[in-house]
Structure 1
C-alpha cells in the first residue's frame, strides 16, 4: 500500500473521497489515503508545496494564484502547482446573515472570504459588481474555508459570504438568507479541481493514475440509484449538521442537477477561462499566462479514463 496524503476543504465535494475510503476503492488501487481538512487556502498551499500533502482538492483559482506568484502567503519559490482533474463548478451561492435580505443591504458591511487574493474572492466581487456595488462599498475579511465562513455567518460576525452546497443549505436552515447563485451571474466556472505539484506528478504517475481511477469509481458508485441510501448516510455521518431532508436535497443537487459533481473528472475549459478572466478583471495584478491551459495537464486523467 502506498500512502497518499490529501488536503481538502470542508464540504460535499469530498463525497467521492469519503466513498472511496469507506468502500475500499483506494485500497483496491493500492493506496492508503489520509485526508486532512485545511483551515484555509494559505495552509493548503503550504502543505502542497512542502509535501505534507501530495494532492489537494482546491479551487482552480488557487492553482492560478500560486502558480502566478499571487498567493495569499509567500512560498520559498513559485510553486509548480497544476490541475489534473475537475470535480465541480464551485456550487457557489452568496448568502447573507439573518436580517440581510438583499445584496444592496450589504453596502458598507464586512463580507467574509477565504483569502483576499485567492479562492472565490473574485466570484464574490463579480456578484457584488453585478448588483451595483463597487469595491469601496464593502469590506472583505479573510476568515478561512467554508466551514469557518459558515460559522462566522451564522454567528452574525459577517454580513455575508459565498458558500458552496450544501453549506448554503445549512446556513439557510439556520436563518441566513440566500441572495444569489454564482452561476446565474458568471455562467460556466471551474470550481474544485484535483491539484498537485508537477514534479511530484512526473515522479509518481502510477500513484496519480490510481487516485484518478479510484475517484472515477467512487463517482460511478455515487450515481448508482441502488447506492443512494448508503451514500446519504455517509454524507450525514461526515456532515452531521445535515438532517435527512437537507441530505436528500444535497443528493439531488450533487448527483442529478446541472450542478452535479463531474463524473468524468474533466476540467471545464470554458469554466477555467472564466476563472482566469475574473482574476484579470478583479485581481489587480497582471497575469502572465495567455490562457488557462497553462495551469492544466489532464494527461493522466485521459490515459486512465479514455
Structure 2
C-alpha cells in the first residue's frame, strides 16, 4: 500500500494508492526515492532499511495487525525444519523481513546460515508460484497461499506463530524527517483505521459481511478478523522479539531499541 502525498496539499483527507507488493526492496526504493511517503510492511524491515543508503531515519508509526500468519511450507515429504539441511529456501529478501524469524527458528534446530541457501524471488505470490514450479524446497507463506499450497499436496513444516506467539504483524513505516509534513494526513487516516478496528471488534459479523461483499475470499476474511490488533500502537514485546531475532542471527541493525524504532506522534489518542 502506498500513501500518496499530492492530495494532502489542499486537504487533510488521505488518498490511498493500493498496489500489489512485489518485494520489500521495491517498497524501500519507493520510500527512498520519495515516490511514496509511507508503506505497510514487515516491521523487521525497518532495522535493515536504516542500514542502507537512503533516509536512515525510518520509523514504525503504527501496527496494523496483531500478527502476520506465516506457515513454512515445503516439498512433499519434508515435515520437520531439520529436513531443510541443504535445501533452497525461497525468500523475499535474505536479510530482512519474515525470513529473519525463520533463520532464528532454523538456528534453534542446529541449522546455521551455511546449512541452506536463500533464493530471493519476491513477495508472497511470487514465492508461492516459485515453490509450486519447483524452483525451491520451501518458503514462508501467508493466507490464502499457505492453504492453497497444502491443498495442492505440499507439506506443512512449521508455523512462526506457534514457535513465537508474540511475533508481530505488519506496521506503517515513515521517515522521521517527513513526519511533520505528513502529520495531519497520517493522523486523519489512522483515526479512521482505529474507528474501523473498533467496529470490527464490536461487530465481527457485520465486518465479515462487509469484507465478503467487498470481494475478499472467506478464508482471508477469517484471518483478517483473527488478527485485528488490540490497538494501533506497535507492540513492545513483538518489536523486541524482532530485535532479538536479528541479534541472534547476527544481522546488522540489531543494535537498536523499541524507543528508537517507534514514533508515537501520529497515533490516535484512544
Query: For the superposition of Structure 1 and Structure 2, which TM-score range results when normalised by the shorter chain?
Result: 0.7 to 0.9
Aligned ranges 1:55-66 → 2 under 5 Å: 55-66=38-49
Structure 2 equivalent of residue 227 of structure 1: 207
What CA distance in whole angstroms lies between the structure 2 residues aligned with 1:117 and 1:154? 23
What CA distance in whole angstroms lies between the structure 1 residues aligned with 2:223 and 2:103? 25
What CA distance in whole angstroms lies between the structure 1 residues aligned with 2:233 and 2:254? 24
What CA distance in whole angstroms lies between the structure 1 residues aligned with 2:151 and 2:213? 19
TM-score (norm 2): 0.87
What CA distance in whole angstroms lies between the structure 1 residues aligned with 2:193 and 2:215? 16
Structure 2 equivalent of residue 44 of structure 1: 27
What CA distance in whole angstroms lies between the structure 2 residues aligned with 1:142 and 1:106? 17
Deviation at 1:190?
2.2
Secondary structure of the structure 2 residue equivalent to 1:184: helix
Structure 2 equivalent of residue 240 of structure 1: none
What CA distance in whole angstroms lies between the structure 2 residues aligned with 1:78 and 1:109? 35
Q: Is the 8 A contact 2:22 2:122 kept in 1?
A: yes
Alignment equivalent of 1:186, drawn from 164, 184, 205 = 164
Q: Which has the higher helix share?
A: 1
Structure 2 equivalent of residue 84 of structure 1: 61
Deviation at 1:48?
1.1
Structure 2 unaligned residues grouped into runs of 5+: 6-10
Higher mean displacement: 268-277 or 103-112: 103-112
Give a deviation string over 1:25-62, Cα, whole Å, max 9, x none.
Answer: xxx97222112223111111110122211110001111
Matched, 1:30 2:10: no
What CA distance in whole angstroms lies between the structure 2 residues aligned with 1:55 and 1:284? 24
Q: Is the 8 A contact 2:48 2:253 kept in 1?
A: no
Secondary structure of the structure 1 residue equivalent to 2:178: helix
Secondary structure of the structure 2 residue equivalent to 1:112: strand
Give a deviation string over 1:211-265, Cα, whole Å, max 9, x none.
Answer: 10222233344442123223124353xxxxxxxxxx4343333314xxx131521
Deviation at 1:286?
6.2
Structure 1 equivalent of residue 8 of structure 2: none
Structure 1 equivalent of residue 106 of structure 2: 128
Give a deviation string over 1:112-146, Cα, whole Å, max 9, x none.
Answer: 11111111121111222233323222111111111
Aligned ranges 1:106-125 → 2 under 5 Å: 106-125=84-103
What CA distance in whole angstroms lies between the structure 2 residues aligned with 1:281 and 1:5? 37
Secondary structure of the structure 1 residue equivalent to 2:252: coil
Q: How many pairs were matched up?
A: 261
Secondary structure of the structure 1 residue equivalent to 2:4: strand
Q: Is the 8 A contact 2:32 2:55 kept in 1?
A: no
TM-score (norm 1): 0.78
Aligned ranges 1:132-143 → 2 under 5 Å: 132-143=110-121
Q: Is the 8 A contact 1:222 1:231 kept in 2?
A: no
Query: Structure 1 residues 173, 235: closer, same or farther in 2, change over 3 A?
Result: farther
